[in-house]
């Protein structure tokens, strides 16, 4: 079953959560007068920050999405955005670069 990326979605407590499939990788919340984004449950990659701050919720959500993309790339993974026929589809699958060729 392919894993599907889901951008940061609002949770009941006012924070936002994003991830792949049912696994949450990022959390965006308001704390100490600023928005915080944090990446959780991913193997640490020293070249990718796993925590950051922003002035607005939208900026924090965007930063979390961008950092996840950077982490995927530097880990040798990517979200495949084509179906077997080569047509673009909405469902995203996680693949490594070698198997996507």
The pLDDT tens digits along the chain (101 residues) read 344 456 777 888 989 888 877 778 889 999 999 999 998 877 776 688 889 999 999 999 889 888 888 888 888 776 665 545 444 444 444 555 444 44
Residue 1 domain-assigned? no
State the distance between the two ends of the chain, measured CA to CA, in whole angstroms.
19
**What total of structural domains would you count in the chain?**
1
Note the pLDDT of residue 79.
65
Range of the domain at 13: 6-76
Task: Provide the CA 94 distance to its chain's centre, in angstroms.
Answer: 11
DSSP state string for 18-86: EEETTEEEEEEEEETTEEEEEE-SS---TTS-SEEEESSHHHHHHHHHHHHHHHHHHTTEEEEEE-TTS
DSSP state of 17: E
Residue 39 domain-assigned? yes
The reply to whether the predicted model has a pTM over 0.85 is no
């Amino acid at each position: 079953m392919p894993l599907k990326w889901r951008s940061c979605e609002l949770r009941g407590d006012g924070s936002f959560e994003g991830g792949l499939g049912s696994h949450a990788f990022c959390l965006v919340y308001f704390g100490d007068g600023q928005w915080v984004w944090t990446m959780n449950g991913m193997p640490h990659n020293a070249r990718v920050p796993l925590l950051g701050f922003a002035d607005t919720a939208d900026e924090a959500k965007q930063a979390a999405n961008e950092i996840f993309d950077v982490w995927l790339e530097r880990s040798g993974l990517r979200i495949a955005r084509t179906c077997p026929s080569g047509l673009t589809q909405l469902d995203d699958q996680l693949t490594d670069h070698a198997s996507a060729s």
